[in-house]
Every structure is written in structure tokens, then in C-alpha cells.
Amino acid sequence: MHYLSHRFSISHICLLLLLACSVACNSPFTPKPKGYFEIAFPEKKYQTFDQSGYPYAFELPVYATVVKDSTFFDSTPENPWWINIDFPQFNGRIHISYKDLRQSNFDKLVNDAFNLTYKHTSKATAIDDSVMHTTNGVHGVYFKVGGNAATANQFFVTDSTRHFLRGALYFDVTPNEDSLQPVNDFLKQDLLHMIETFRWKNN
């Protein structure tokens, strides 16, 4: 009697497992959406970059550092006022190039800025450009590039007579719009703050 009871229990267990498997196999499969690591963003605070000898000044985040650019994409900067603004926490960098309009052609620089941005067309899903004017007499264009382009945020600012400055934000990672979007959106606020606080020094 004990032996029959034991066999009966095992049979029930096997039947229940088969039923469970059958239900699971017939259930529609729902793939888990791709996720990315949550990013802890620092508090927005700013400091002033106003070094002697530089023809410009502006405010930048306290979590960024300014490094003088000694090699610009394997070439030598043409003047000492080219800088990089590094964001070590995000593995990002804004490349800043500066031109003195007394030694350069304004129209060519504007055309070059547009051409450099639209070189990303093959990877971009959209390119939006916005004209900017600030109370400090700074005006220019901000470019927002969609898709997996190497740089999603670019700009140039000028006074049309003496100063021309271009900036582009890059990350030292393979471009991926979905994973980089939160950081791009966060740093875009800092880029716009920098532009709003830009001022030219004519000394």
C-alpha cells in the first residue's frame, strides 16, 4: 500500500510538471527591453573661465576641466587659444577652436562650420540648426544632430568682426544615440549656458 501511494504521488508531480511546461510553452514570449545603466548626474554649478591673454571668457560647469589643446586631431592648433573642455565623469570632451577674423575670412569660416556639421549626414537622422543672439553681443548657430553621429551637439559663435569660435562635443565611445541621449541632453544645457555667458575680450 505504501508503494502504490508513493507511485501515485510521483505520477501527480510528473503530470503537474507537464501541464506547467505546456502552459509556459504556449504563452506568448515578451522580450525584455534593452536597458542601460542609470547615470547619476551632478548638481548644476558653474565657474568662470577668464584666463589672462585669452580673447574670450565664459562660464563652465564645476565638473568640467579646461585643457589647452596641443594636438587637434593629429594636427597642431594654429593659435594658443584652442582648448578642450573635458567631462571625465562622462568620457566627453568639447573641442574649442578659435579664429581671429582679422586674419581669417568670415564667410569661409561660417561655410566651413556648416560643412563640418553636415559631413555627419550619412549617420544623422536629422540636423536642426538654431540661430542664437545673446545680451553680450554674441551670436551664432547651434546644431543638434540626431542619430548615431560622432557628435550630436555643435555650435559656432562670433561678433562678425574680430572673433569666431567653434565647439563640438564628442565622447570617447562608439556613437549610440539611445545610450548617449541622457548625457547629451544633460550637457546640452551646459553648452547653452556657456554660449549665453560668452563674452569677447578686445584687449
Residues 108 and 73: their CA atoms lie apart, in Å, by 21
pLDDT given for residue 75 in this prediction:
65
Q: Which long-range contacts link 20-25 to residues 24+ away (Cβ below 8 Å)?
A: none
Residue showing cell 573642455: 85
Residues of the chain with pLDDT under 70: 1-38, 71-75, 120-125, 175-178, 203
pLDDT given for residue 85 in this prediction:
96
pLDDT given for residue 173 in this prediction:
79
What DSSP designation does 99 have? E
pLDDT given for residue 35 in this prediction:
45
18-46 per-position pLDDT tens digit:
545 554 455 455 554 444 456 789 999 99
Which phi and psi angles does 89 have, rounded to 5°?
A: -60, -30
Residues 121 and 116: their CA atoms lie apart, in Å, by 10
Instruction: Tell me the three cell numbers of residue 68.
Output: 589647452
Residue showing cell 577652436: 97
Q: How many CA atoms lie within 13 A of 98 on its CB side?
A: 19
Radius of gyration of the chain (CA): 28
Under 8 Å between Cβ of 153 and 93: no
CA dihedral (117, 63, 60, 95) positive or negative? negative
pLDDT given for residue 74 in this prediction:
58
Q: What is the pTM of this model?
A: 0.75
Domains and CATH numbers, the chain: 46-200 (3.40.1000)
Residues 167 and 153: their CA atoms lie apart, in Å, by 8
